Amino acid sequence: MLTFKNTNIALIVLLALTIAADKMHGVSWLVYVAVILVYSLIVAYGCYFVNSNFFMPIYCSAKITEKVISITFDDGPVADGTPELLQILKNANVEAAFFCIGNRIAGNEEIIKQLDTEGHIIGNHSFTHAALFDMYPAKKMLAEMRQTDSALYPVTGKKPRLFRPPYGVMNPNLKNAIVEGNYLPIGWNVRSYDTMSKDADQLFNKVSAKIKPGAIFLFHDTCKNTVAILPRFIEFAKSKGYKIIRVDKMLGLPAYA
């Protein structure tokens, strides 16, 4: 399997061979550029595709044949979105996972309490979800993750184990922060791209076509089209014989420390 470790080993070997060939026969500088370019493209692939497991194993689906799926939401809690989703889930008797941004907890404590009391799990999604989060050193990343835990604990009395990387981007620094903080990284294998959706029907058709055993669906509290299609999506999944359960239950993982 392609990983950061074996990619680095391959780079070292290729550079060593290139240097040796350069000393013996002469090699164009373009060869060096090509080696570095290929390496950079592979690393970029590993960073962007969360299910590549390039830097570390990430739970992106359940390897099962049973008709079970999980629904997850990112970027909440938000007063204009999360309550609507909670009502839909309650009406359908479905439990989900909400990966919350820490700085959105203050002022939305009642929503957090409702998430907890109604059987949903709360995961960590960093404190700021900053645009440059992926560029932070591991120490600063971990500080944000722990800051979110500290904001959640007074409200729920629980500390999340499940962590979802902001933007779904992984890198060596984030891996180190996750390992040191003893978190469990959760990805997805169906990304709805609801934040880019312009049409609710198109969004529904897209995600409903990707229902399969063990799938983890990624939605966002902040998207109106997600609120619009969620009842229909749940009904459709159930009509196909699927059960919708919490991601921690489907993966057999502890949700809290």
**pLDDT tens, 45-99?**
999 998 899 999 999 999 999 999 999 999 999 999 999 999 999 999 999 999 9
In this prediction, residue 73 carries a pLDDT of: 98
Q: What amino acid positions are annotated as catalytic residues?
A: 74, 220
Look up residue 53 and give its two tokens.
Answer: 């497991």
Q: Return mean pLDDT, the chain.
A: 96
In this predicted model, what pLDDT tens digit does every residue of 196-254 receive, in sequence order? Answer: 999 999 999 999 999 999 999 999 999 999 999 999 999 999 999 999 999 999 999 99
166 has pLDDT over 90? yes
CB atoms within 10 A of CB 64: 11
In this prediction, residue 83 carries a pLDDT of: 98
Contact 124, 184 (CB under 8 A): no
In this predicted model, what pLDDT tens digit does every residue of 102-156 receive, in sequence order? Answer: 999 999 999 999 999 999 999 999 999 999 999 999 999 999 999 999 999 999 9
In this predicted model, what pLDDT tens digit does every residue of 9-50 receive, in sequence order? Answer: 999 999 999 999 988 888 898 999 999 999 999 999 999 998
Classify the phi-psi angles of 191: left when phi > 0, otherwise alpha if psi is within -120 to 50, otherwise beta: beta
Q: Which structural domains are found in the chain, ordered by start?
A: 4-48 (no CATH), 68-251 (3.20.20.370)
Look up residue 5 and give its two tokens.
Answer: 């470790």
In this prediction, residue 255 carries a pLDDT of: 98
In this prediction, residue 128 carries a pLDDT of: 98
pTM metric for this prediction = 0.93
Going by pLDDT thresholds of 50, 70 and 90, the confidence category of residue 1 is confident
Alpha-carbon distance 187 to 197, whole Å? 20
185 has pLDDT over 90? yes
Look up residue 122 and give its two tokens.
Answer: 């709360």
